[in-house]
Amino acid sequence: MKKLSFHPDDSVNAFITTIPEVSYGDGPLSGVTVAVKDNISTRGIETTCGSKILKGYIPPFDAHVVTLLKDAGAAIAGKTNMDEFGMGSSTENSAYGPTLNPLDHSRVPGGSSGGSAAAVAAGLVDCAIGSDTGGSIRCPASFCGIVGLKPTYGRVSRYGLIAYANSLEQVGPLARDVSTLSRLYSVMAGYDPRDGTSVDRPYSHSPSADIKGLRIGVPDDFFGEGVNTKVAETVRKAVETLESLGARAEPCSLPSMKYALSACYVISTSEASSNLARFDGIRFGPAIDTPKSWHDAFSEQRKAGFGKEVRRRIMLGTFSLAAGYYGRYYQKAQTARQMVRDDFDRLFKNYDVIASPTMPDIAFKIGEMKDPLQMYLSDVLTVPANLAGVPALSVPCGRVEGMPVGLQLIGRRFEDDRLIDTAYAFEQEAV
């Protein structure tokens, strides 16, 4: 085991915890520094999920993906800042302060994996891992001008990921270029018997720039109301670049898109309500004066430990699952989810890849999104892939007002390699 000194100039608050002297071994990632999102368990290293309620929690085990990285010789450099329990699109909802966008410190880096993306974009680490429930890898990748992949659901083990919404979220890689992302992903993907959703589909692909004959669908629904016209123009030019490399693109439609955002938030908050019930104020959380009743103690503990956004989503999820409302909200959301899956299945009979903007706009200013609903709407283009469980990738495709724009590529289940090839072809041509 070799040692590496790690003392980053973290002016963007990308890390919650850093490891001054990191260890690494031999393997395909020997000496590569990797930052780990702070909702992924690391043995002997504090893991907080960006929340006060887990401050001081030191896991006794590594997440499966962390074990794989270590076995491949990677150097785990530290734990990155994030929206508390993954709930947010800006990394402003952290108990440890907001992360700043390395390209403009007045703007957000995106979220919830904003710390991981910022650490890569700022050059503090070679690459990073994050988690994506409704766009939480692709959003910060787009805002920070790097590459981020939400893998096919089940292809990367979720063992050791502190759950927000189990049926939607997936661990995935972030890197400055497609080749590095592909190397990282080749180590992460594979079967894990400890994860009941894990599938035996390892990844051992080398990126190819040959995309002749690739059929690209460009849904009009992803370029409509709320999408910055300059962002849309930039993405359409990127699609034209892919056409110049031999791909064929044509417009198409994803009608269920209008239900996707609502369905995703009903499902995710419902699952969060169940998952976060374990944080009951007895085993985790800051010390408080004991009130008169256990009910009061539980309430006060949660207020002291959970931030406002987490409490809001727990309440929304509890309401959706309540007797009398289950059929009205949660059941309808699952029906809408199936509609999204069916729409993707239909599109993938005619197209190999779906192309769209990753985000409706460039990175917004810190403090600009004061209305929670406005923040939720920023996920409108990324949530369909999570509902369907299909792979989706964001690759930088240009700039608007000096800030990066992401091209989102969505593919069939287990055709992550096709997305990586498409992104690689574009990247090679754009350099």
Q: Is 394 a catalytic residue?
A: no
d(C-alpha 71, C-alpha 233), whole Å? 43
Helix (H, G, I), strand (E, B) or coil at 417: helix
187, 28 Cβ separation under 8 angstroms = yes
Residue 174 DSSP one-character state:
E
Please give the structure tokens belonging to residue 380. Answer: 């409108």
Q: Is 136 a catalytic residue?
A: yes
Task: Report angle CA 401, 228, 181 to the nearest 5 degrees.
Answer: 70
Residue 314 DSSP one-character state:
H
Considering the candidates 90, 94, 136, 394, report the single residue annotated as catalytic: 136
H or E element that contains 385? helix 383-388
Q: Is 112 a catalytic residue?
A: yes
Task: Report angle CA 375, 286, 42 to the nearest 5 degrees.
Answer: 75
d(C-alpha 107, C-alpha 363), whole Å? 6
74, 195 Cβ separation under 8 angstroms = no
Considering the candidates 90, 112, 182, 186, report the single residue annotated as catalytic: 112
Q: Which residues contact 294 (CB under 8 A, 6 or more apart)?
A: none
Rounded to 5 degrees, φ, ψ at 280 are -95, 5
Strand segments (E) across 65-115: 75-80
Q: Which residues contact 16 (CB under 8 A, 6 or more apart)?
A: 38, 46, 48, 50, 78, 79, 80, 81, 94, 96, 115
Q: Which residues contact 225 (CB under 8 A, 6 or more apart)?
A: none
Strands 248-252 and 215-219: what pairing?
parallel
Residue of 2, 62, 76, 78 whose CA lies nearest to 32? 76
Residue of 367, 355, 364 whose CA lies nearest to 406? 355
66, 171 Cβ separation under 8 angstroms = no
User: How far apart, in Å, are the Cα atoms of 134 and each of 2, 113, 384, 388, 425?
Assistant: 38, 11, 8, 11, 26
Residue of 15, 43, 28 whose CA lies nearest to 125? 15
Residue 184 DSSP one-character state:
H
Helix (H, G, I), strand (E, B) or coil at 407: strand
List active site positions. 37, 112, 136
